[in-house]
């Protein structure tokens, strides 16, 4: 049996061999096993894309056609105010365009053993959430007469979050370096450090004070601890993968975000390729549509093969096309033609669009193979 499998090691990928090894009945005659393997091999060869098959356009059509059926819906989280996620077509466009700022960044944080059973889950959630001064302040007033800003704190909220006076002062000092901070009778007073600052500048810094970072992980705007399949995890609105992964209680093998650029930054291009496939597939799957994963893999590959994530836009993937005519026929033709004429670019005409323009056979399918005859074959 093993000898037989060894023969096929070059013909079939190891994943398939492993699967055969697992599922092959123990008592099987060699003739039958051989027949099975032969059938698997021919099936495998059948599934391969043939030379000259236009996989790119087939992928584009296979993703584009279901895309027309997708509805513009957002997915709502019950119970949490204003926590909805863009899905459907807008989300797919966002991913494939390679937008750096996505509309609803979101994380799924898995926890390590004692915590995943519910230990300190509230504390952890509170710890992760980014707290700003405006979250715990009950009143922020501008005192123009003495050109200062007075902030009174909602004690209850602060206590709930475990923020002490000393901690707060320290945090405020760090996030407001141009201002001095004092406490008088429970109100925090902000004053300009340099004397020549006038009231107008104080007024301008009011909004900045509101947004003062106090505690938690930057970017995590909302948290929602949930119990999923017998374990506790945290869903967040807002994302900061690098910081979250460095926390000791986080299970870094499963924790993920929907911000592909953060994944690229924290885990590298291979991880972001997989994340890209997962994210697009998730959208298509939840819409009840059926797209072969290999189409998404091809798209993800073209977006990632350069080592940096590139969107399918005129600044991303299209910019990388070899042909001037192909680039010019997409968007901003004049820009491409001028730069091509300045550098004296050569268009080898070996892709589809250029050849359609010239009315030549496109080099795919029947246009790819060429018949060569030896001119002087009879002479020899």
Partner 1 sequence: MADVYLSGKYIGTTDSPSEFISRVREERRKGIIPDNVNINHNHESNEVFIEAARGRLRRPLIVVKDGKPTLTDQHIKQLEKKEARWSDLVKQGIIEYLDASEEDNTLIAFFESELTPKHTHLEITPLAIFGLVTALVPYANFNSAQKVNTGSKNQKQALGFYASNYHIRMDMDVNVLHYPQKPVVKSVMHDISEYDQHPSGQNVVVAVMSYKGYNMEDAIIINKASIERGLGRGTYFRPMVAEELRYSGGLVDEISIPDKDVKGYKSEKDYRYLEEDGIIYPEAKVKEGDVVIGKTSPPRFLSGMDQYRLASDTRRESSLIMKHGEEGIVDLILITENGEGNKLVQVKIRDERIPEIGDKLTSRHGQKGVIGLIVPHTDMPFTISGIVPDLLFSPHGIPSRMTMAHLIELLAGKTGGLSGRYINGTIFDSEPEEALRKELLGLGFRDNGLETMYNGETGEKFTVRIFVGNMYYLRLKHMVANKIHSRARGPIQLLTRQPTEGRAKEGGLRLGEMEKDTFVAHGASLLLKERFDSDRTVVPLCENCGIIAIHDEFKKKNYCPICGESVEISFIEISYAFKLMLDEFKSMGIYPKMQLKSKY
What residues make contact with partner 1 under the rule CB under 8 A? 52-54, 57-58, 60-61, 337-338, 341, 346, 352, 356-368, 370, 372
Nearer to partner 1, 26 or 370 (CB): 370
Q: Minimum Å distance from CB 41 to partner 1?
A: 25
CB half-sphere exposure, 134, CA atoms < 13 A: 8
Nearer to partner 1, 194 or 343 (CB): 343
Nearer to partner 1, 185 or 370 (CB): 370
Gyration radius of the chain over CA positions: 30
What CA–CA distance (Å, rounded) separates 244 from 255?
9
Q: 109 near 234, Cβ under 8 Å? A: yes
What CA–CA distance (Å, rounded) separates 296 from 304?
12
Q: Say which residues have a Cβ less than 8 Å from residue 36's Cβ, sequence separation at least 6.
A: 20, 24
CB atoms within 10 A of CB 337: 15
Q: 365 near 54, Cβ under 8 Å? A: yes
Q: Minimum Å distance from CB 66 to partner 1?
A: 15
Nearer to partner 1, 247 or 357 (CB): 357
Q: Minimum Å distance from CB 49 to partner 1?
A: 11
Nearer to partner 1, 196 or 376 (CB): 376
Structure tokens, 241: 């993968």
Q: Minimum Å distance from CB 324 to partner 1?
A: 10
**Cross-strand pairs, 74:** 86
Q: Minimum Å distance from CB 185 to partner 1?
A: 42
């Amino acid at each position: 049996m093993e000898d037989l499998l060894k023969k096929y090691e070059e013909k079939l990928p190891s994943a398939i061999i492993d699967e055969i090894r697992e599922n092959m009945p123990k008592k099987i005659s060699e003739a039958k096993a051989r027949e099975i393997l032969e059938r698997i091999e021919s099936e495998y060869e059948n599934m391969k894309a043939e030379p000259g098959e236009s996989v790119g356009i087939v992928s584009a059509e296979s993703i584009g056609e279901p895309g027309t059926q997708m509805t513009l819906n957002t997915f709502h989280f019950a119970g949490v105010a204003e926590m909805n996620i863009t899905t459907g077509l807008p989300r797919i466009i966002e991913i494939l365009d390679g937008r750096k700022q996505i509309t609803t960044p979101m994380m799924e944080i898995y926890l390590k053993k004692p915590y995943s059973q519910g230990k300190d889950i509230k504390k952890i959630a509170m710890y992760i959430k980014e707290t700003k001064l405006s979250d715990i302040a009950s009143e922020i007033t501008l005192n123009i007469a003495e050109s200062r800003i007075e902030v009174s704190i909602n004690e209850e909220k602060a206590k709930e979050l475990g923020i002490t006076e000393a901690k707060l002062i320290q945090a405020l000092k760090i996030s407001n370096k141009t201002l001095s901070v004092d406490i008088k009778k429970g109100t925090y007073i902000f004053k300009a450090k340099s004397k020549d600052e006038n009231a107008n500048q104080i007024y301008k810094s009011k909004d900045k004070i509101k947004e003062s970072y106090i505690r938690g992980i930057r970017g995590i705007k909302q948290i929602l601890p949930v119990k999923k399949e017998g374990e506790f995890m945290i869903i967040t609105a807002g994302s900061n993968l690098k910081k979250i992964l460095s926390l000791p209680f986080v299970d870094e093998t499963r924790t993920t975000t929907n911000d592909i650029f953060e994944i690229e930054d924290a885990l590298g291009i291979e991880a972001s390729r997989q994340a890209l496939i997962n994210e697009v597939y998730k959208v298509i799957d939840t819409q009840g549509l059926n797209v072969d994963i290999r189409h998404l893999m091809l798209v993800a590959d073209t977006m990632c093969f350069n080592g940096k994530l590139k969107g399918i836009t005129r600044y991303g993937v299209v910019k990388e096309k070899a042909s001037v005519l192909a680039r010019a026929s997409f968007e901003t033709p004049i820009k491409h033609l001028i730069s091509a004429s300045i550098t004296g670019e050569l268009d080898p005409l070996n892709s589809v669009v250029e050849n359609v323009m010239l009315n030549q056979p496109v080099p795919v399918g029947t246009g790819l193979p060429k018949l060569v005859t030896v001119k002087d074959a009879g002479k020899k």
